[in-house]
Amino acid sequence: MQRAAPRSATLDAPLFRRRLITWYRTHARELPWRNVSDPYRTWLSEVMLQQTRVAAVVEHYNAFLRRFPTILALALAPEAEVLAMWSGLGYYRRARMLHKAAQFLTKERGGVLPSTSAELRTLPGIGEYTSAAIASIAFGESIAVVDGNVERVLLRLTGRPEQKNAVGRAFVQKQASALVPNRRKGERTNSAGGHNQAMMELGATICLPRAPLCLQCPVYGMCKTRGEHLTLPRAAQLSRPAAYLLSLRKRGTLTEVLLQLRADDSSLMPSMYELPPLPQDAVQGREPLLRLRHAITSTNYYVQVYAASGPQDRGLRRSVPASKSDLHWVLTRRLGSLPLTGLARKVLQRLDVMKVELPKLPAAKTIA
């Protein structure tokens, strides 16, 4: 018999907002997409932050803007170049949709983003969450932004267990909407945008999924849970083995690496370059050059990378099932400009075939 969800008292919205925004102004992390006036930068950050860690996004965000500083620059770039700049962030459909939306905006709207969530929803790749985030943060629209962090904060505040259905989503949305302040946007003021960013920041830095920092929470006294809330069991991660070939050759003083180009109609990472996959029976009895784990959505891949053991060892190269037309020798100095899969980039950097760009982490403010 399922236990009924506890009733939740209505939050004192004005008091909650005051405590939250006071905390946020003092303790928010310094991130490059905050306090910017260009809606394009807000849009880019929100797309990059979907299912990706902040530390990884900072590095790619700055590099992406250096290459594509405006919507027009992004629209005019070839898709392969956009994917190359996105490489390492994963979920490459985000980059393709961002590119398509930039082309649409350039052609149909003079390169200007719509200012309302309803209009933003009409663009490729922009859904309910992203449209609300852009509309409130960039344009001050009074609309709630609900991501996983905000949902967790609201469930704990109201003492409600997680409920992954329409009723649960409606409850969270109603609570979030009740807390958003009315539109008030000026040169240094954005009530709705600041509130939404503060909610997300609270969930990301204080109201953590495990071991939340309750004693540092600005709204601790208003919280019904004060700790971890009841959540549904998560689906178990799948585990799969994967083997890849690392084949290098010299061309004068230059070095080339053999890569495979995924088909345009591949269901996963189309038109991306990867190391040639090897069948498991081709690597029996061989010692891998590198072992690593790589997660894609709900699957953990236990990857082993193999290289020929000498000039006479042609067995591995012959075992590659891909057709010759899909295999390409690429100069290692060009790897940074190619749309590589995240796994290929990780392997090539680990084996010193590709240069590693060290990320610059955002500054964190300590809580007194």
Closest CA to 67 of 51, 83, 52, 43: 83
Q: Tell me, yes or no, if 46 is annotated catalytic.
A: yes
Eight-state DSSP code of residue 244: E
Give dist(CA 250, CA 272) in Å, integer. 24
Longest dimension (CA), the chain: 75
Indicate the Cα dihedral angle 282, 285, 289, 290, nearest 10°: 90
Residue 172: alpha-carbon gap to chain centroid: 23
Residue 122: alpha-carbon gap to chain centroid: 21
Q: Could you identify the residue written with the tokens 């969450």?
A: 129
Q: ∠ CA 36-338-89 to the nearest 5 degrees?
A: 45
| Candidate list 30, 46, 81, 228, residue with the active-site label | 46
DSSP 216-241: G-TTGGG-SS-SPPP-PPPPPPEEEE
Which strand (E) or helix (H) includes residue 170? Answer: helix 166-179
Closest CA to 248 of 316, 302, 301, 304: 316
Number of other residues whose CB lies within 10 A of the CB of residue 366:
5
Closest CA to 356 of 143, 168, 126, 88: 88
Active-site annotation, residues: 46
